[in-house]
Structure 1
């Protein structure tokens, strides 16, 4: 069992549209060793945080945990406050780098007004973090609805005869008759065109219809 306290850092990012570099940079500026920084990369649908759970098992009374912002603890007010309470019960110091008032080291010897101020700020910021996430989700939903209204395709670009590259079209023109006569197998033709099976046959059908 170790006898000295340690400082840890935690970062959480979405795998789709965020990069942890900024969070890591801020944590490193606090002098936290690389081996004591835990990072989770999660998707919007999956909020499993293996690194955070490991960190909670590693933390000991008197340790200090640094995070860049309060929403690293959860996606909504309830999750944030739950994790904060767990850390307080475990007697872990917490430093929210973006919000200097949320540095529990300042209040370890204090009761009363300063502690009350921090609790109020925590409640407010947790609510704001939840509202911000809800606003982002609403904006995304409205953007998707507007795009669909305008007939825009969402998701991966559709591949069809018209969207083939000049190189793909050249391969198609040069080898279509060979494929038709079984001189070239469908598997080899797909490989040369770099198309998946369903897309390949869709393109072949469009090519045949155009040739009629």
Structure 2
């Protein structure tokens, strides 16, 4: 019996996944079959995606909003798509391009369908990968400009007290792993929501620029 799943991804914890969830609800995806990650699309090392991958079986169907919600790494997106549709025998439908990206249609076309699927997938995955690279470049340029202007983005947590910085170092990794909720992290730091997400954004931007 086919199970219908939905996969939703936003890049960071302060982005809203509501629009994607509405689309999944419209498709009749049950809440228990919805998997939501708040993580970068640079690779597939995401907790909810891993659970979805283990749950998928032959004949199942996965809805995603757009191809870049699956991922932004050109080679890995293609590899993952083929693993799900060809090795597992499950199907993927990309809601943003539903008329074009429905693996069931390609499957029905046999070998010609595989050829067409490979061509379309390569094109869109390449676009997604290029967009990810542009985002990283804009981040690096923005950080470089801020430093030239004397803004200390490299030390966003320095404005915290010694006790708050200690809490940040201890709790931040657990929060990123989903072990601690954001509201609890804010309470432990004793900061407001706006300040919390500003610190997170600056801290993560600096970490990304040093990679």
Aligned residues: 159
Tell me if the contact between 2:64 and 2:94 (Cα under 8 Å) persists in the aligned partners: yes
RMSD: 2.6
The farther-off stretch of 130-139 and 141-150 is 141-150
* 1:24 equivalent in structure 2: 21
**How far apart are residue 67 of structure 1 and its match?**
0.5
For residue 108 of structure 1, report the CA deviation from its aligned partner: 2.5
Equivalent position of 1:93 in the other structure: 91
- Tell which structure's C-alpha radius of gyration is larger: 1
- Alpha-carbon distance in 2 for matches of 1:79, 1:45: 9
Alignment match, 1:156: 156
CA contact (8 A) 1:16 1:43 kept: no
Q: Is the 8 A contact 2:8 2:21 kept in 1?
A: yes
**Given the superposition, is the C-alpha separation of residues 16 and 51 from structure 1 closer, same or farther in structure 2, using an over 3 Å criterion?**
closer
Question: Which residue does 2:33 correspond to in 1?
Answer: 36
Structure 1 residue ranges without an equivalent (≥5): 161-193, 196-212
Instruction: Report SS of the residue matched to 1:98.
Output: helix
Would you say the 8 A contact 1:73–1:80 is kept in 2?
yes
Question: Normalised by the size of structure 1, how large is the TM-score?
Answer: 0.66
Going by fraction, where is helix more abundant, 1 or 2?
A: 2
Q: Give unmatched runs, 5+ long, in structure 2.
A: 161-189, 192-211
What SS does the aligned partner of 1:108 have? helix
Give 1:143 shift: 0.9
1:65-90 CA-partner distances (Å, limit 9, x unpaired): 11111123333111111211110210
1:131–1:44 CA distance, 2 compared to 1 (3 A) = closer
